[in-house]
Amino acid sequence: MGDKEIPVISPEQPPIAVSDATDSYIKSRIFTIRGVQVMLDRDLAALYGVQTKVLNQAVKRNLARFPKEFSFLLGKDEQEELVTNCDRFASAKHSTVPMRAFSEHGVIMVASILKSDIAAIVSVRITRAFVAMRKALASVAPLLLRIETMERRQITDQARNEERFDIIFKAMDGGDFPPQKVFFNGKHYDAYSFARKLVRKATKSIVLVDNYCDDITLDILSQKRGGADVTVATTQKCISDFLTPTAVEKFNKQNPTLTVKAVGIFHDRFLILDGTELYHFGASLKDLGRHYCAVTKMDAMFIPSILERI
């Protein structure tokens, strides 16, 4: 650069007279980017009374004086955010040249390479503005810490409450069932609702052993979760009367996948969920609530012997 002063040559933003560059004005030009307080090249150029282009050219010729902690180029996202939030940066919206940011030390270094009286005077005021803002941030730091601590506590409490609600909703949706359940005569809806929620517990597979199935059985099984395959072991007569190939085909078009097997060796009714839970029914699924009957959760150790016979 030599020892010549940089003249003012129609900057993009009119230069700011030293008398007009109030402390509040200077502070309004300080941003926090990447966790660092900085000023942008065009704001600094206006304060120093030079073109932005001239300021950046001087920096490029003296890059050794501007390590990354003194100056850095804004990324595309950072520049777009500034353009969105600050109307005065609208001209940079379609610019392919990234804006340059200067830290407090970078601002002082720019003044030293410009070697102008205006830059020397203004850089002192800018430095004071940086110091004042640091003090202000330091004074509110304890308050911010308390707010952050409270937010973390609220998040933790919210997570605990969500966990509690999950348990409640899981129970409402059939997640936690009593080991034994008795349905009294006439409790048709309660029994139907119970069976439907029980079926929805399964996420992978459902195996029903029931010699007396009809449309109600299919209606209950249709409440299963998607992805849970269903196998029904019943009598050949039940297959001929109700679980016909046509009925199975219609069921699978909407609730895949149902497989029906003719097995005539079972007397009791069983329901196996995901190969891990076993329930014994005192009545067929379709008849729950019609007469007094019980549903009992059995030990899973009996599941393999039942599956082997299907």
Tell me the pLDDT tens digit for each residue of 240-258.
999 999 999 999 999 999 9
Query: What angle do the packed helices 41-48 and 52-60 form, to 10 degrees?
Result: 110
Does one domain contain both 162 and 257? no
Q: Compute the average pLDDT of residues 182-189.
A: 80
Measured CA to CA, the distance from residue 254 to residue 256 in angstroms comes to 6
pLDDT at 6: 39
**Can you read off the two tokens belonging to residue 10?**
């129609």
pLDDT, position 116:
76
- The predicted pLDDT at position 155 comes to 55
Q: Does 197 share its domain with 136? A: no
User: Cα-flanking dihedrals φ and ψ of residue 38, to 5°?
Assistant: -140, 165
Both 226 and 280 in a single domain?
A: yes
172, 193, 224: which is the final residue of a domain? Answer: 172
* 166 and 28 inside one domain: yes
Mean pLDDT over 25-40 rounds to 88
- Residues near 217 by Cβ (< 8 Å), separated by ≥ 6? 208, 210, 232, 242, 284, 285, 286
Are residues 197 and 79 located together in one domain of the fold?
no
Average pLDDT over residues 175-194: 76
Question: Are residue 198 and residue 60 in the same domain, yes or no?
Answer: no
Share of the chain above pLDDT 90, in %: 43
Let me know whether 98 and 216 are in one domain: no
Residues 6 and 131 in one domain: yes
Q: Are residues 44 and 192 in the same domain?
A: no
228 in the Ramachandran plot: left (φ > 0), alpha (ψ -120 to 50) or beta?
beta
Tens digits of residue pLDDT in 255-264: 999 999 999 8
84: confidence class by pLDDT, cuts 50, 70, 90: confident
- pLDDT of residue 166 exceeding 60, the answer is no
Quote the tokens at residue 236.
């050949």
DSSP of 164-198, one letter per residue? HHHHHHHHHTTSS--SEEEE-TT-HHHHHHHHHHH
pLDDT digits (tens, 9 = 90+) for 118-163: 777 787 888 887 777 767 666 656 666 666 666 666 655 555 655 6
CA 305 to chain CA centroid, nearest Å: 44
Residues 128 and 233 in one domain: no
On whether both 168 and 184 belong to a single domain, the answer is no
pLDDT in tens, 47-83: 888 899 999 999 999 999 999 999 999 998 888 888 8
| 239, 111: one domain | no
Query: In the listed set 143, 172, 201, which residue is the last one of a domain according to the structure?
Result: 172
> How far are the Cα atoms of 39, 100, 115 from residue 42, in angstroms, in the given order?
9, 8, 18
What is the model's pLDDT at position 58? 93
pLDDT confidence of residue 290? 83
H-type alpha helices, 184-296: 188-199, 215-221, 236-241, 245-254
Residue in the block written with tokens 């330091």: 138
**CATH number of the domain that residue 248 is part of:** 3.30.870.10
Give the pair of three-digit tokens for residue 250. Answer: 């219609």
* Residue-range definition of the domain harbouring residue 262: 180-308
Mean pLDDT, the chain, whole residue set: 82
pTM of the predicted model as reported, rounded to 2 decimal places = 0.46
Strand pairing category for 205-209 and 229-234: parallel
Task: Count the domains in the chain.
Answer: 2
118, 149, 172 - which closes a domain: 172
| Residues sharing a CB contact under 8 Å with residue 184, sequence separation 6 or more, in sequence order | 292
Share of the chain above pLDDT 70, in %: 78
